């Protein structure tokens, strides 16, 4: 499924956040919330799922010991309160972020696995949105079609630096989380 499906709202009417949450509980597919519109999310490739699972497998216990929790795929992240809620492929949040059962309100890391169809949306639209999330320290875009990791890191002055990793032996440091991982860890079991 391509970007056309993503851009088409579910219905002409606008939903409240509460109506959307109830709708999602009964829906067979996920929908992101964008200022009252429900945007259907296509199914993802197995490799996209594997990449997110590889991150969790490599860092979950270490992050937990440092006071952070990882969520993948079906957990919503609040991008703009009452305005934008997304389903990132992976979310890292402080353990104390338990205000809501279905939404992470204080994400510190968001990871999107980019496909050919989603690359523009992940690198442009979501990047602009995610850079506005007050609590966010890191935004990672991992390509599922080639070894390519784009790391956006917020500085202390709220500006963003971008690093690119294209070699399997490259080390991705996430100092504010106190962890690092090799690019090859993300691409375990992925045939490129």
pLDDT at 78: 95
Within a 10 A sphere around the Cβ of 18, how many other Cβ atoms? 8
Residues 6 or more apart in contact with residue 97 via CB below 8 angstroms = 69, 104, 105, 106, 107
pLDDT at 10: 59
In the chain the domains, ranked by start, together with CATH numbers, are 44-186 (3.90.1570.10)
Min mean pLDDT across 69-78, 130-139, 159-168 is at: 69-78
pTM of the model as a whole: 0.87
Percentage of residues in the chain having pLDDT higher than 90: 75
**Which alpha helices (H) appear in 38-166, and where do they start and end?**
46-65, 119-120, 126-130
Helix, strand, coil fractions of the chain, as percent rounded to 5 = 25, 30, 40
Q: What is the DSSP letter of 124?
A: I
At 13-58, the pLDDT tens digits run 899 999 999 999 999 889 999 999 999 987 778 898 899 899 999 9
């Amino acid at each position: 499924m391509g970007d056309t499906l993503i851009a088409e709202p579910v219905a002409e009417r606008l939903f409240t956040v509460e109506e959307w949450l109830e709708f999602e509980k009964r829906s067979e597919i996920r929908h992101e919330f964008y200022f009252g519109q429900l945007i259907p999310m296509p199914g993802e490739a197995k490799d996209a799922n594997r990449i997110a699972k590889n991150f969790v497998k490599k860092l979950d216990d270490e992050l937990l010991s440092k006071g952070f929790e990882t969520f993948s795929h079906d957990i919503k992240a609040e991008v703009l309160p009452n305005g934008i809620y997304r389903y990132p492929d992976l979310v890292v949040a402080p353990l104390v972020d338990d205000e809501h059962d279905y939404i992470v309100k204080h994400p510190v890391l968001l990871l999107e696995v980019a496909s050919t169809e989603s690359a523009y949306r992940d690198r442009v639209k979501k990047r602009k949105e995610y850079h506005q999330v007050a609590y966010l320290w890191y935004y990672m875009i991992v390509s599922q079609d080639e070894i390519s990791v784009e790391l956006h890191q917020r500085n202390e002055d709220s500006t963003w630096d971008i690093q690119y990793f294209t070699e399997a032996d490259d080390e991705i440091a996430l100092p504010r989380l106190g962890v690092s991982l090799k690019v090859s860890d993300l691409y375990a079991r992925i045939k490129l």
